[in-house]
A and B are shown apart, each in its own frame.
Chain A
């Protein structure tokens, strides 16, 4: 039974004739403890999908449900990791996590809370940086902190909104491995948004492409049957890996090309006007300069 579902969701920005449709009739279901990667071109509406899942936005039509109930306002049961970290710069590493923990587990005793916070700091290998402020951390460390903050809320579903796209290639691969390791240790449902096919194949159980906007929808999904743990060094020679990667890439290019083709619109209404010949109109003078 799916834990998260998109049921014929449509969503757009603006009103009336200025309305820009972002998603049209998008449907998706995510099983419990599944790692789903949503992949799409920039501007396709990936972040909108995330906002809808988190509850930061509500759909115009259709439903986003969790456990068969429409999701309400954002809450700690759906932990989200934002692309640009969203850390509070005036709080330390410890303080950022503490704010979340205090809010989500108000009944925790002080000793328990300290242990809890320290556990997540250690988990993302930020030990030693507890009392540093975000602007003293590197980009990778900031994203680790953001991850630790979200994980410390013990969310049922983890939503990762392009968590690694602001990082350099090396930090990115380290964090990919780290996130996968964390997920394997402590299985839970993960929805990750990415624009990197390799990343999706390496990390996810299932890859769902998002067709290019406007009016994007979910495309055909690809299951990844690679064994875990996946080793990045040997994976490049794995025929299954290469196959899926090529399939997904081909599919993505195809839908992109399709979206760029000139479309013949047949049901376009033309105004009912008749041309007038100027030759026969006596009262019209044409001055040729």
Chain B
């Protein structure tokens, strides 16, 4: 029991999830008051601040109105995340439907047809609800509008009468003014100005009343919004089911194959009975059908990119870049640490290239990769990668490679510098041990130098991965390489309130994945560090 507790605490310590430590200790009844205090500080307080953040967000967001609608509130963002998720599930479902055959297909088709029936009933209901909500809204609006209209009419009439009255009075006044009566003329001018101002003010007031009416007409009516949302959901579901039905029946792979096979059999029969020059066109037709069958059997449902797939591609891309960076930075770093001559030779390059922004590296590497891989569909590397079992679906293309290279170029520096530092600052005593044992250069490197530099190397790797992840999103956005960055760009170009909310979803997704990557590196860093020094949070 105690053993289990200590191994649990050790795991917590290594993984850096130290906020869980008081929970474990509390479960074992160890100094409950102290543990509760720690839980309060490290779990409750962060949770509370997060809640406050969400609350403030939901208050502040709707204040700002943009051309893409209101800034989404947490609830809207959550809804958008669910939408993203649902889109992914539906597409995956269609993908499986395409490759179903035999009884599975029939069973699935039956089920879809049943669901379609149900959804048709739902649709009728939704339409009715929208209709009644619209009527209800109309009644609601009319009720609010009536008094406003009445007020507008009365005011209008009133103002008209007043104007006529003022006109008549002015005419009388004008008649009284003599030819040389300068004072009188001036006074009259004043009266005319007063009359005009008064009229303008009255018109303004009327216009204001009119806008008030318009506002009422455009008033949101929550039941109607709800009904409309329900209607949209039902329509989307219906569309999806119809499409799925089509995939399961008309455009299913096995059905298409069957169809072609029938054609082939027929042609074979014709071929058997035909003679002489008639044989050639039939043979040609048979070959065409065979080729078609080949194409069909290797075809896949053309699934669009969904966010989860894009996330997977981004993670694959960041690791491709990160491993490339590691493969470059560690050997060079070790050489720098071992030989100060080499360090002197490399320093100008480090100093010069380190501050270069990813925005500059990306177009350069895009052009260079494009120059090497001129025809991506035929290039051996692209073909080989697209046929690899686990990563084939990622559709690795030149844009992916250019993004990965950009990530590598921007993220190799921390590893390089840390490796050089770790190797150069090796303890003199350890070198003495190597000398006494008469280790060869390679033995010295692998038994003394690298092990002693590992903690610093891993600290560098951790920074590199973090930098790489940040760079990648920008690189994908610019290179249109499918991934999270591309998703953000597409959503930005879409410009609807829903896509605006989905960009907020991405913020959390990117943050969470970055956090996860960092935590993983911390675990590695702790596993290789021997001096017991805790890695920084």
Interface residues of A (CB under 8 A from B): 54, 56, 73-76, 78-80, 82, 84-86, 88-91, 99-100, 103-104, 133, 135
> Which single residue of chain B is at the shortest CB-CB distance from A99?
B447
- Interface membership of chain B positions 419-457, coded 1 if the CB is closer than 8 angstroms to chain A and 0 otherwise: 000000001011011011111000100011001101000
Docked Cα-Cα span, A80 to B433, in Å, equals 9
Docked Cα-Cα span, A137 to B532, in Å, equals 13
Q: In the complex, what residues of A have CB within 8 A of residue B393's CB?
A: none
Q: In the complex, what residues of A have CB within 8 A of residue B530's CB?
A: 89-90, 133, 135
Known: A84-B429, A135-B531. A73 touches B437 (CB 8 A): no
- Interchain residue pairs A-B with the least CB separation, the first 6: A86-B429, A90-B530, A89-B530, A74-B436, A103-B437, A74-B435
Docked Cα-Cα span, A84 to B433, in Å, equals 12
Assess the B436–A76 pair: CB atoms within 8 A. yes
Q: In the complex, what residues of B have CB within 8 A of residue A73's CB?
A: 435, 438
Q: In the complex, what residues of A have CB within 8 A of residue B429's CB?
A: 82, 84-86
Q: In the complex, what residues of B have CB within 8 A of residue A75's CB?
A: 436, 438
Contact of A86 among B433, B438, B447, B454 (CB under 8 A): B433
Which residues 127-144 of B sit at the A interface, judged by CB distance below 8 A? none
Q: Is the interface of B mostly helix, strand, loop or mixed?
A: helix
Given contacts A74-B435, A82-B429, A103-B439, 15 further A-B contacts (CB under 8 A): A54-B436, A56-B432, A74-B436, A76-B436, A78-B436, A80-B432, A85-B429, A88-B430, A89-B530, A90-B451, A90-B454, A90-B528, A99-B447, A103-B437, A103-B443
Docked Cα-Cα span, A86 to B454, in Å, equals 18
Docked Cα-Cα span, A46 to B143, in Å, equals 105
Contact of B438 among A54, A79, A99, A103 (CB under 8 A): A103
> Which single residue of chain A is at the shortest CB-CB distance from B450?
A90
Shortest Cβ distance from B531 into chain A, in angstroms? 6
> Which single residue of chain A is at the shortest CB-CB distance from B443?
A103
Chosen A-B contacts, 5 in total, with CB atoms closer than 8 Å, are A80-B436, A86-B433, A99-B437, A103-B438, A135-B530
Shortest Cβ distance from B460 into chain A, in angstroms? 17
Q: Is the interface of A mostly helix, strand, loop or mixed?
A: loop
Contact of B430 among A80, A86, A103, A133 (CB under 8 A): A86
> Which single residue of chain A is at the shortest CB-CB distance from B437?
A103
Docked Cα-Cα span, A85 to B433, in Å, equals 10
Interface residues of B (CB under 8 A from A): 427, 429-430, 432-433, 435-439, 443, 447-448, 451-452, 454, 528, 530-532
Shortest Cβ distance from B144 into chain A, in angstroms? 78
> Which single residue of chain A is at the shortest CB-CB distance from B438?
A75
Shortest Cβ distance from B348 into chain A, in angstroms? 30
Shortest Cβ distance from A288 into chain B, in angstroms? 57
Q: In the complex, what residues of B have CB within 8 A of residue A80's CB?
A: 432, 436
Q: In the complex, what residues of A have CB within 8 A of residue B439's CB?
A: 103
> Which single residue of chain A is at the shortest CB-CB distance from B528?
A90
Assess the B452–A90 pair: CB atoms within 8 A. yes
Q: In the complex, what residues of A have CB within 8 A of residue B438's CB?
A: 73-76, 103
Shortest Cβ distance from B122 into chain A, in angstroms? 65
> Which single residue of chain B is at the shortest CB-CB distance from A88?
B430
Assess the A86–B451 pair: CB atoms within 8 A. no
> Which single residue of chain A is at the shortest CB-CB distance from B452?
A90
Docked Cα-Cα span, A89 to B435, in Å, equals 17
Docked Cα-Cα span, A91 to B438, in Å, equals 18
Docked Cα-Cα span, A56 to B436, in Å, equals 8
> Which single residue of chain B is at the shortest CB-CB distance from A83?
B429
Docked Cα-Cα span, A75 to B451, in Å, equals 22
Docked Cα-Cα span, A54 to B435, in Å, equals 10
Shortest Cβ distance from A172 into chain B, in angstroms? 21
Docked Cα-Cα span, A141 to B247, in Å, equals 74
Known: A99-B447, A135-B531, A135-B532. A88 touches B436 (CB 8 A): no
Q: In the complex, what residues of A have CB within 8 A of residue B430's CB?
A: 86, 88
Shortest Cβ distance from B327 into chain A, in angstroms? 23
Q: In the complex, what residues of B have CB within 8 A of residue A99's CB?
A: 437, 447
Q: In the complex, what residues of B have CB within 8 A of residue A79's CB?
A: 436
Docked Cα-Cα span, A80 to B429, in Å, equals 12
Assess the A82–B432 pair: CB atoms within 8 A. yes
Docked Cα-Cα span, A90 to B430, in Å, equals 11
Shortest Cβ distance from A166 into chain B, in angstroms? 13
Shortest Cβ distance from B530 into chain A, in angstroms? 4
Assess the A104–B532 pair: CB atoms within 8 A. no
Docked Cα-Cα span, A90 to B450, in Å, equals 11
Contact of A104 among B432, B433, B437, B454 (CB under 8 A): B437
Shortest Cβ distance from B418 into chain A, in angstroms? 17
Docked Cα-Cα span, A82 to B437, in Å, equals 14
Known: A82-B429, A88-B430, A90-B451. A56 touches B437 (CB 8 A): no
> Which single residue of chain B is at the shortest CB-CB distance from A78?
B436
> Which single residue of chain B is at the shortest CB-CB distance from A89?
B530
Shortest Cβ distance from B118 into chain A, in angstroms? 65
Shortest Cβ distance from A276 into chain B, in angstroms? 52
Shortest Cβ distance from A73 into chain B, in angstroms? 7
Known: A56-B432, A76-B438. A88 touches B532 (CB 8 A): no
Most buried by A among B430, B437, B454, B528: B437
Shortest Cβ distance from A215 into chain B, in angstroms? 25
Shortest Cβ distance from B454 into chain A, in angstroms? 7
Assess the B531–A89 pair: CB atoms within 8 A. yes
Q: In the complex, what residues of A have CB within 8 A of residue B447's CB?
A: 99
Docked Cα-Cα span, A54 to B436, in Å, equals 8
Q: In the complex, what residues of A have CB within 8 A of residue B532's CB?
A: 135
Q: In the complex, what residues of A have CB within 8 A of residue B448's CB?
A: 88
Shortest Cβ distance from A147 into chain B, in angstroms? 14
Contact of A76 among B437, B451, B454, B528 (CB under 8 A): B437
Q: In the complex, what residues of A have CB within 8 A of residue B427's CB?
A: 86
Q: In the complex, what residues of B have CB within 8 A of residue A100's CB?
A: 437
Docked Cα-Cα span, A133 to B528, in Å, equals 12
